[in-house]
Structures are given as structure tokens and as C-alpha cells.
Structure 1
């Protein structure tokens, strides 16, 4: 068994501050909270993350029509004289938390440093809208993007998809769905600390990590996302279970040391590689889940984001 380095001290200090605030608010056990109640504590915790501002960037809020509802998207357009590669991006939050605002700093950062157009997707949340509602929203945006993105200087021939955590799950599921339907719109996928399997028995799940994301939290998230446990075997919920992973877009997969999701991310990278899919696998020690949200406060998170964004910038252009 691998010996792990201690968690980054700056990161631990930040998490301790958040933990102290949750104690001050008398945060009850997650199992005692409804989804709506828990969103209050999520938003309060996020106030400890530094807001990132980027100059030389235009921001547009749009609505995409889909069946009986509208899907909000936020478009981040860096200043550029050239057509830009596009990344359709889904926020994290266990399918229960998060919105366009919670992903705002990360999207600004990625747009600026990877020099790409970002389309951030405000997909519907569980349990009000359980599986596969969020995925259907992502697929609707996937259909909309190639036809409309040139309006914001995005190149429809350079279209990637990605996300963080549960958002990465939706990105991975979308490329499987589109491949199975013969409608693949994307030529690259970027999966940051992805959720990939409804299974809690990997070594990283069993390690008892208590930093930010825990096994218990993931079980709670899955229980809100799925209408029943049998849905967890559906490869569009658990992309790691897909029978055929060949002919998927090249992938960049990011995992970190102190994350219950670490092992399934590595397993997925290996599965794609074994299926002939080009994979760039990045692993960062001493970091925890949601580290991209800690840029500007945790030096090791800053370094990891610089590295992965440099790699993303290259891959966005290499794969087209």
C-alpha cells in the first residue's frame, strides 16, 4: 500500500476555517438535512473561497430552450482575434449543489489561461430533478453549441466537453451517450476529479478521508441523484461501467491524493487507454477534492491549476 504524504498545510488551514464556521452554525449530520437545507451550508462554505477576477474577458448569460424548460448558460469569451476552441463545462456539487455562480471563478480562470471559450452549463439539480435530468440538459447544450457558438467567436470544429466532480460525471456520460447515438460532437473531454462509478469499495473510498469530500457525503449525493440504487448500474450514471469505451474523444483526467474518487478516476483512465483512447492522466499529491476552487489561497492548488491548464491549452488544439 502506498504511503501518502501529509495533506498540504495551507489547504488544511483553509479547510479548518471552513470546519470552524460549520461548527459555529451547528451544522447537523448531512443525513438529517434536506437538499434545500444543505444548500445553505454549501453556499456558506463557499464564501471562504477567493473570488477570481479576470480582465480582457466578456461574459454573456444566455438561455437555451429545451422541451419544457430553459437551461441557463454563461459564456466566457477571452479577447482574441482568432476563433477560439470551446469547452462546454459542468460545475461540481454532487448533482445537488452548485450553479453558474459557484463555477464562475474556475470558468474565468480556465478561459483566460487555456485561452478558450467556456460555456458553463446550469443544469437541473437533484433530487428535484433526478437522473437523468441533468444529463439531458448537458446533451441539449451539446446539440446547441456547434450550431450557435460562432456568435461568440467559438470554433464549432474545436469543441470539447468537461467538468469538475459530478460535472465531470455528466461530461463523461454525455460522450458515451453521443457515441452510442452516432452523434459525437466532441473531440476532447476534460474530467477534473470525476465521479465515475456508483461503488464505494475502492481503496480511496475505504481510506476514511475526512477532507472536504467523504464517503458518507458521496453516498448522500448518489442517494439524491438516483431514484433507485439499480440506476447506479446504468453506464450513463456510472461511465466506468460502460461495456464499450472505444472511439471516445481523447481525455484529460485529473485526480488528487486525498479524494475518495481518486481510484475510480485512475481506473477510468486505464480503461480508456486499454480501449485505444488517448489519455493524459494528471495526479497531484497532497491535495483534496475541489482543489480548483482554492486557487489564490493554496499555493499547491495554484501550481496544480497552472500545470493542468497548460496541458489543457495544448490538448484543446492538439486534438482538432
Structure 2
């Protein structure tokens, strides 16, 4: 071992030890009985008749005491911090198989649930979700949403293809949108290679990824590409941020006004682009043949109202829509599948909606 490797090795050991301690603290706190969690979390938080989930309130309190908000860090450091937090909240989730691959020139990962391992040679293929991660177009990657993709695959009984599209500020609008549309075209063309049933394909994502899934679905309908379902988890649909929930939940509930400012400035530096339907599908002229959608929102989320407005827009256009608000939860609950009970149960409900949508 060279002397120059010792500091790096020591830093790695320290990081692993810190991660282990943080994970242990969070898991322990989330496993406490609800009355104990209430005492630790503080008085109930009630806004607009909704009471914040006590597990979530306690988690927010722990985060405030131990972590700097990612938007206060330089973007490269923020990316590391977000992935670190997602790993702790996601835990280790079972999966049948994973395979890293290239999709339209982008890194991607295929998840195969245990029930579908060995079925790739079936003539019809399996139901498959093409997944776009959230992170404000500036954060997130295949690893940040790995645990959630595993849960979706296993619980819904579908293959999942997660796509690592380009991020801002290195690649500004419409780079992420273009990447996701290109990735979906590639999946349609190579469905048999992936073991996917071209007649049972879905697009899905959370937050910015929900926006990208929605705009990819619009592009698919316009191009006549097969698409059976949209899974939109608290999607960003209006970058003008004109809805009441942006003001009501601007601080204190994980997704902050400062985070959203950074996302908009990084991905959409030209303000006129913020009304472009490829960034704000709430302003889109919806085409015929748009796939049925499941849209869910969180009660304590700045994006709540715009997500529900988009569900209403889809319904008015004749699209079959299921809308569900998880009223006690916050933005980012989709990544909390390794600790606690409430968020994990919500993600399982979302996976069941995906199963129904592709059945």
C-alpha cells in the first residue's frame, strides 16, 4: 500500500462508519412506537386540515439537526449528499436481477423482479416501466433511486428500465426532455432485447422525473409510439410556480423555495422557457391517444397543486386518470422505502397502481 492511499482509505472508512451510524439512528427512530415518536417530533403540525405524519415530522427534525440542505452546497457536493441520504432512507431492497446497460447512448439499469427472472425468452415479453428519476434536473442518478426501483419492480411484478439522463447546469433545457424521449424510443425499438412487452410499456418518475415522464408520454402519443400507462409521482408540471401550495409549503417540508429556485435557474436559465410545454406540461396541448395515468401528490409538498391541476387537465382531455393525495406526507417520500412504515406503505400503494395499470 502506498502512503498516498492512506488518507483516501481513512476517509473511506470514516465515511462508511458515519453512514452506518446515521442509518442506525434513522432506522431506530423510525421503529419507535408512535407515542414515543410524537414526544421526540414535537407538537402535531396541521396545515389546511392535514396533519403531518409523525414519522415524517421526526425525520425532518433529525435531518435539520444533522444535515445541511443540499441546495446550500455546491452542486457537485449536493449530488453526493443527496445520493448519500437516499441510500440511507432506501436501505437494501431485494431484487431478482439487475443489469447495467446503454440506452440511446445513456447509462441505464434494468431491474428484473424475482418472479420474472428467466422469462425474457417468452414471445410476449413482460410489462415494463421506463423510469426517470427526480432531483430537480440537477441531482439524482441510477443509484439515488435504486432502492425505489427495486421496490417498484418486485411489488408491481414488472421490469424497470431506469435511465440516467443528462443533468443541469452542464446540460440545460431541453436536454433532459430530449434524452428521455430518445430513451423511450430506444426501449420501444429494443423491447424484445429487454424482455419487454411492447404493448405493456409505461413511463414513470417522481418530481422532475414525473415531469419528464409526462412530456415523454405526450411525445409518444404524437409520434404514435405504443404506451400503456403513465406513473406520475408528485410531478413538476408548472415551472412558473404560480400555485398556492408553492407559498404554503415553501419552507420546512424538505423541498424548499431555494431548492426550486436553484433547479429553475440551472435547467431553465431563460425564463421564457419555463412556460414551454416540454418543461411545464400543464401548458401543453394534449394530443389524442395519451396513455392512462396514475398521478399522486403529497399533502405537504410545494408541487401538490400543480400535480393535481395536471391530473384535472388530463381528465378534461378525456384521459383515464387515477389521482391520489397522500395527505400526511412530504415531497421525497418516494425514496423512503428502507425505514419507517408510512412512506414505505405509500410506495407499495404506488407499485400496486403500476401493477394495475400494466395488467
TM-score, normalization: structure 1? 0.89
Is 1:101–2:101 an aligned residue pair?
Answer: no
State which drifts further: 141-150 or 98-107. Answer: 141-150
Is 1:64–2:109 an aligned residue pair?
Answer: no
Is 1:190–2:231 an aligned residue pair?
Answer: yes
TM-score, normalization: structure 2? 0.80
Is 1:8–2:43 an aligned residue pair?
Answer: no
State which drifts further: 212-221 or 285-294. Answer: 212-221
Whole-angstrom CA distance in 2 between matches of 1:29 and 1:148 = 38
**How do residues 7-86 of structure 1 correspond to structure 2 at under 5 angstroms?**
7-23=52-68, 30=72, 33-55=73-95, 57-65=96-104, 70-78=105-113, 79-80=115-116, 81=119, 83-86=125-128
Question: 1:82-122 CA deviation, whole Å, 9 max, x = no partner?
Answer: 63101000111101001000110001000000000100000
Whole-angstrom CA distance in 2 between matches of 1:132 and 1:303 = 34
Match of 1:17, SS state, is helix
Query: Deviation of residue 215 (structure 1)?
Result: 2.3
Match of 2:12 in 1: none
Whole-angstrom CA distance in 1 between matches of 2:221 and 2:352 = 28
Whole-angstrom CA distance in 1 between matches of 2:210 and 2:154 = 20
Whole-angstrom CA distance in 1 between matches of 2:340 and 2:271 = 37
Whole-angstrom CA distance in 1 between matches of 2:304 and 2:131 = 20
RMSD: 1.9
Residue-pair matches, total: 305
Of the three residues 271, 293, 302, the one matched with 1:229 is 271
Match of 2:135, SS state, is coil
Q: Give the direction of change, closer, same or farther, for the CA distance of 1:44–1:311 in structure 2 (3 Å limit).
A: closer
1:247 and 1:276 in contact (8 A); partners too: no
1:92 and 1:98 in contact (8 A); partners too: yes
Whole-angstrom CA distance in 2 between matches of 1:287 and 1:255 = 9
Which structure shows the higher helix fraction?
Answer: 2
Unaligned runs of 5+ in 2: 1-46
Whole-angstrom CA distance in 2 between matches of 1:39 and 1:73 = 18
2:93 and 2:338 in contact (8 A); partners too: no
Query: Deviation of residue 15 (structure 1)?
Result: 2.1
Is 1:248–2:290 an aligned residue pair?
Answer: yes
Of the three residues 110, 124, 128, the one matched with 2:152 is 110
Whole-angstrom CA distance in 1 between matches of 2:110 and 2:70 = 37
Instruction: Report which of the two structures shows the higher radius of gyration computed on alpha carbons.
Output: 2
Match of 1:201 in 2: 242
Query: Deviation of residue 6 (structure 1)?
Result: 2.4
